[in-house]
Amino acid sequence: MKAVNIETEIRKDYEKLTRLLIKRQLTITTMESATAGQIASLITDTEGASEVLKGAFITYSNEAKVMQGVPAEILDRYTVYSKETAAAMAQACARAYCADIGIGVTGTMGNVDPANPEASVPGQVYYAICMNGSTESYYVELASQPTRLMYKLAVAKEVYDSLMKLL
């Protein structure tokens, strides 16, 4: 499938998600690193999203993650690229915004992270979904993508699919 078609489909998926959250009166927030706010952006593409998106954090650096509530011990013990870090991110943003759903995303897109070279492997992404105090963590290995946007959209698709199963 062409990149444009994939992007269109993912945008349609997130419209469905946002409408479902509005219908169920569920609030959501994200703490995104690798996706740099792409998931929050997709949610807000649908009219009425302000009813459900409480806010979002883009925590591209480890320091930013800690500032927003991710315990430094988690990063030190498991590295920034881990299910544990993704879970801590999801829990921290849900707690900060008192949201029903928190999503945490961390990983390496198309190149090695110069700030964490020993821990980053291109294409490895970790994400977690915290719903009403229960957290599910996930790991995916992405195929090489032609652009950074396509990496972000590929992760957004994985998150969407997992979240819809939980809803």
Ranking 25-39, 55-69, 73-87, 141-155 by mean pLDDT, the lowest is: 141-155
Q: 99 to each of 8, 84, 87, how far by Cα in Å?
A: 28, 20, 15
Question: Do residues 130 and 102 make contact, with C-beta atoms less than 8 angstroms apart?
Answer: yes
Chain segment 120-164, per-residue pLDDT in tens: 777 899 999 999 889 999 999 999 898 899 999 999 999 999 999
Q: Which one, of 92, 107, 93, 91, lies nearest residue 139 by Cα? A: 107
Domain 3-166 grouped into CATH 3.90.950.20:
yes
Q: Where are the domains of the chain?
A: 3-166
> DSSP secondary structure string, 78-103?
H-SSSHHHHHHHHHHHHHHHT-SEEE
SS3 129: strand
Q: In whole angstroms, what is the distance from residue 25 CA to residue 101 CA?
A: 11
Mean model confidence pLDDT for the chain: 93
- The per-residue pLDDT for 4 is 56
